Amino acid sequence: MDKDKKDKKEKEKPERKAEQKKADVTEKKEDLKDQKQEENKKIEPAKDDKTVKDEVKQETKKEAKDEVNDKASVPSRETQEGPDSGPQIKLGLYGEKIGMTQVFDEEGNLSPATVIKTYPGIVIQIKSKEKDGYNAVRLAFKEVKKDKLNKPEAGLFLINKLKPHKFIREFRTEAVNDLKVGDVLSVQQFKQGDFIDIQGVSKGKGFQGVVKIFNFQGGPKTRGQSDRWRAAGSIGAGTDPGRVWKGHPMPRRQGHDTKTIQHLKIISINADKNYLFVKGAVPGPRSSLVRIRPSIKKELIRKKK
């Protein structure tokens, strides 16, 4: 019996030792955690009256700035209603000339096309015959920061609770009752196959001579003509009339004139990116501002019929 008891005790000894080791390890881990927590806890120094006053001043300044920002950043009707909101009346738009490309139609015909990135126009003012003597609508294009505008222009957008825009342009129309302040007119007012008139400022070419502007022949290229090859020559008689006729072709500044190209056909429209593909050339260099209106000739033809 004694031998059996001794054997049992010898078997239980290693098990107890293992349990004690586990308990010791867990106790050590808990002690380390407590030490780390105590180290992380830093005793904050007591604040003086001056520091408390400074913190209160800073908080009040932040609150005042937040109030000013809230007043300045008025939620626009464009973001509330979406870019496609409002009636899509054929009124007109402004856009930026991107450049020229080639487009194939469904039949496989190749045609040159000008790409125009249009800006959605927001109605900021409606003029009527009773108040202003004529019917018109003022539209704003291309969003900008508030600092880019002067105070009168920025006031228009603050009164109407709209985001500031760079360009403000007026369009004559009789459909004044169909529009209201805040309506957005996008490129969706036009369709593929419509005809439009585009107005822009042509490329400036500086001061040029008569050979380049009016295609003059110039002087004879014979011996002795060293500086008369591109000269204008005689500009009138001496005795009678004794003066230069008004409108006589002479050297002058060329280009940088307002030009309108009428009756251009819309090949395609990308409504998601506000792109217009117009058949033919448009006046002005790349990234220049152009005015887009429905074609006048098409309307005149319809009225005659």
Give the model confidence (pLDDT) of 128-161 as tens digits: 888 889 999 999 998 888 888 888 888 888 888 8
Residue 106 banded pLDDT, cuts 50, 70, 90: confident
**pLDDT higher for 136 or 225?**
136
What is the tens place of the pLDDT at every residue in 229-264?
A: 899 988 988 888 899 999 999 999 999 999 999 999
8-state DSSP, 177: T
Residue range 35-39: mean pLDDT, rounded: 69
Q: Does 70 have pLDDT greater than 60?
A: no
Per residue, what are the HEC states of 187-236?
A: HHHCCCCCEEEEEEECCCCEEECHHHHHCCCCCCCCCCCCCCCCCCCCCC
Contacts of 147 (CB under 8 A, 6+ apart): none
Per the model's pLDDT, the better-predicted residue between 270 and 74 turns out to be 270
Instruction: Name residue 268's beta-bridge partners.
Output: 277
**Mean pLDDT calculated for residue range 224-233:** 85
Other CB atoms within a 10 A radius of the CB of residue 29 amount to 10
Average pLDDT, the chain: 80
CATH of domain 77-196+266-292: 3.30.160.810
Res 171 pLDDT > 50: yes
- Contact between 297 and 262 under an 8 Å Cβ cutoff? The reply is yes
Contact 136, 123 (CB under 8 A): no
Question: Quick check: 125 and 140 in contact, CB under 8 A?
Answer: no
Beta strands in the chain (DSSP E): 93-104, 110-119, 121-127, 136-143, 165-172, 184-185, 195-201, 206-208, 252-254, 258-270, 275-279, 289-294
Domain definitions of the chain by residue range: 77-196+266-292
| pTM over 0.85, yes/no | no
Task: Determine how β-strand 289-294 pairs with β-strand 165-172.
Answer: unpaired
